[in-house]
Structure 1
Amino acid sequence: MNFELFEDEATDLPLGEGAVVLRGFARPLDDALLAALGPVVEAAPFRHLVTPGGWRMSVAMTNCGRVGWVSDRSGYRYDRVDPESRQRWPAMPAVFGDLAARAAAEAGFADFAPEACLINLYSPGARLSLHQDRDEANLDAPIVSVSLGLPATFLFGGAKRADQPRRVSLTHGDVVVWGGASRMAYHGVAPLADGVHPLLGRRRINLTFRKAL
């Protein structure tokens, strides 16, 4: 099946069993989210991580919450301490956790309480290759992903890397939730097209909430 054409961007979009795009769900909170993000990034600045294979990721990232996701030559893992500052990761702002819990509930996953928020910063050309989120101790909880800034093409595939991914346009304020039968779906982001967003300029920020422990 050819999924090259973007889906209708006006209404919520089911992606599969347990997976949905909630169109514009975070938009009423965009000012509050960005205000809360500032102190987090000041305490734990964005950085480009290195994969276990030695590749520098094109997406810059940081974390907040009880644990943060990190990558280096020794592997992928969650850690309570920022390896650059040797300090605990900044606490997750209440507005972050509340939004994640409400989005999960809207998608059918009650009582979601994330311990980690991965914050990804995309500049034009940055991409995220197809992967599974499998470093979490609790795979029963969903993933909640919030898009802010420039639009992006989200790739949502199946349980195998070779499965043809669906191409979905995500715009500012969209929230993707996937869990249940779709929890281990391969997913990624196509290279970000250049542009200017009124709030974030030539950037896209993605907040990804996980039950990690």
Structure 2
Amino acid sequence: MQNLFDTDGEIEALAPGAMLLRGRALGVDAELLVAIEAVAKAAPFRHMVTPGGFEMSVAMTNCGAGGWITDRKAYRYTAEDPESGKPWPAMPAAFLALAGAAAAEAGFPNFVPDACLINRYETGARLSPHQDRDEADYGHPIVSVSLGVLATFQFGGSKRSDPMQKVALRHGDVVVWGGPSRLAFHGVLTLKDGEHLLTGRRRFNLTLRKAF
């Protein structure tokens, strides 16, 4: 198992088609957090329930043309927020610009996401290893932006049994994966207590995707 906790490089290859771009969101971090707050006012964070009846420890909301949801029925994308019946908030321009630039730097030009899942982690929250496979076309990458408290990201292969790397994600880091790594299993270990100047004891994650 590879451990990438104390790396200083600006670009780190995690696997073929998967890159860690250190600090790429630092120049727009305040703008991103303001946008997250605006999205959450229109579509509040909530703890969704999986088809198996498990309430997720991570609070979630969405923006863009589609939003990812889970309930007792299925995992899926919807055009409307099921809690309000209204369309999800529009994708902020700052999200689109960062996602496009990061994807291009990682070797995926012309990426235009139409959905952004926003995760809010409190101390003790975690995200079990999973694949992002509810999208219509796996030819587009995933762009993941970390803000706030330090988190330990897990990144593996296309099989659940494949070894998982542990990667320290700091405020402003961006991970992009696509191509041969598009269906890699990934997750976040239990968030340890910590504090960040801009987010307090919380961590926010933007996962930008081409859903439709």
Give the structure-1-normalised TM-score.
0.97
Residue 106 of structure 1 is matched in structure 2 by: 105
Per the alignment, in what secondary structure is the counterpart of residue 58 of structure 1? Answer: coil
Runs of 4+ off more than 4 Å: none
Corresponding residue for 1:57? 56
- Following superposition, the deviation at residue 3 of structure 1 comes to 2.7
- Post-superposition Cα deviations, 1:80-127, rounded to whole Å, max 9, x if no partner, equal 000001100000011111110000000000110000000000001100
Contact 2:63 2:89 survives alignment (8 Å): yes
- Residue 196 (1) aligns with residue 157 (2): no
Other-structure match for 1:134: 133
Maintained 8 Å contact 1:9/1:169: no
Aligned to 1:38: 37
In the TM superposition, 1:114-153 aligns within 5 A as 114-153=113-152
CA drift at 1:165: 0.3
Query: Distance between the aligned counterparts of 2:53 and 2:6, measured in 1?
Result: 36
Query: What are the superposed Cα offsets for residues 5-48 of structure 1, whole Å, 9 maximum, x if unpaired?
Result: 62404432100111000000000000111112221110000000
How many Å separate the matches in 2 of 1:47 and 1:123?
13
- Give the fraction of aligned pairs with identical amino acids, expressed as a percent: 61
- Distance between the aligned counterparts of 1:61 and 1:9, measured in 2? 31
Q: For 1:128 and 1:43, how far apart are their aligned partners in 2?
A: 24
In the alignment, structure 1 residue 177 sits paired with structure 2 residue 176: yes
Gap runs ≥5 in structure 2: none
Distance across 2 between alignment mates of 1:139 and 1:65? 18
Separation in 2, partners of 1:156, 1:211: 20
For structure 1, which segment, 33-42 or 89-98, has the greater mean C-alpha deviation from structure 2 after superposition?
33-42
Partner secondary structure for residue 105 of structure 1: helix
Aligned-partner residue type, residue 30 of structure 1: D
CA distances 1:55-89 after superposition (whole Å, capped 9, x unpaired):
00000000000000000000000000000011000
Q: How many residues align?
A: 212
One-letter identity of the residue aligned with 1:77:
R
Which sections of structure 1, spanning at least 5 residues, go unmatched? none
Match of 2:163 in 1: 164
Q: d(CA) in 2 for partners of 1:72 and 1:142?
A: 25
Q: Alignment RMSD, CA only?
A: 0.9
**Who is 2:66 aligned against?**
67
Alignment partners' CA distance in 2, 1:124 and 1:49: 18
